[in-house]
């Protein structure tokens, strides 16, 4: 597989042509910086100075922007390389949490390898529903601590995957019900 090759991504998610965003996706993106700030806040540390606050906010906004740029690459079907399970250090994995999810859930990974300066991993979770070929449902944006920083990183990750699954499943069910209702009203 050559640099710039998107065939593995397209094969895994079916070449996404339609994108949906669940309310939980929108909410988790909207509160991302605040949630990271609260996670990093140390009540035992001395208060941050104004320059430190501005620097931290810039860095937190940058982490969010990097994750959302990766989502935009996915929307354009420009995710490169094989699944992270095949070649470590790639920017996506699909599926994740297979035995515990209703939907086929995947994740975009930022950074590709390792973690950021706060020892966090940033994830954009999506569903690629078998019932909607060619569609991705963006369902949850989250961060988790690196295993070097937290013993419960796996539990946090599993909670995020479960939330992404719940979010996508609820969205798909409601959307399908709306379509069915419209068809009923349009039928003679």
Structure tokens at 105: 């859930």
Q: CA–CA separation, 24 vs 18, rounded Å?
A: 18
Helix then strand then coil, in percent of the chain rounded to 5, is 45, 15, 35
For the chain, 188 residues long, give each residue's pLDDT as a single digit of tens.
Answer: 455 778 888 888 867 678 999 999 999 999 999 999 999 998 899 999 999 999 999 999 999 999 999 999 999 888 888 777 777 778 898 989 877 889 999 999 998 777 888 999 999 999 999 888 889 999 999 999 999 999 999 999 999 999 999 999 999 999 988 888 888 888 87
CB atoms within 10 A of CB 147: 14
What is the model's pLDDT at position 49?
95
What is the model's pLDDT at position 63?
94
What is the model's pLDDT at position 3?
55
Q: CA–CA separation, 76 vs 70, rounded Å?
A: 10
**At CB < 8 A and 24+ separation, what contacts does 112-120 make?**
113/88, 113/89, 114/146, 115/146, 115/148, 115/149, 116/63, 117/59, 118/36, 118/40, 119/145, 119/146, 119/148, 119/149, 120/36, 120/39, 120/63, 120/144, 120/145, 120/146
What is the model's pLDDT at position 39?
92
Residues 6+ apart with CB under 8 A from 33: 57, 60, 61, 64
Q: CA–CA separation, 49 vs 62, rounded Å?
A: 20
Predicted TM-score (pTM) above 0.85: yes
What is the model's pLDDT at position 1?
46
């Amino acid at each position: 597989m050559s640099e710039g090759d998107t065939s593995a991504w397209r094969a895994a998610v079916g070449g996404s042509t339609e994108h949906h965003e669940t309310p939980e996706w929108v909410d988790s993106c909207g509160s991302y910086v605040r949630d990271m700030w609260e996670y990093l806040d140390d009540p035992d540390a001395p208060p941050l100075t104004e320059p430190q606050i501005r620097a931290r906010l810039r860095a937190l906004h940058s982490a969010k922007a990097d994750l959302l740029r990766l989502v935009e690459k996915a929307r354009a079907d420009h995710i490169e390389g094989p699944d992270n399970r095949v070649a470590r250090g790639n920017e996506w994995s699909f599926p994740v949490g297979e035995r515990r999810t209703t939907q086929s859930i995947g994740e975009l990974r930022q950074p590709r390898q390792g973690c950021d300066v706060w020892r966090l991993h940033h994830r954009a979770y999506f569903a690629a529903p078998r019932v909607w070929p060619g569609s991705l449902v963006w369902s949850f944006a989250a961060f988790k601590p690196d295993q070097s920083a937290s013993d419960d990183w796996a539990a946090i990750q599993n909670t995020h995957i479960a939330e992404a699954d719940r979010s996508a499943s609820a969205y798909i069910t409601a959307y399908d019900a709306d379509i069915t209702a419209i068809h009923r009203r349009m039928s003679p």
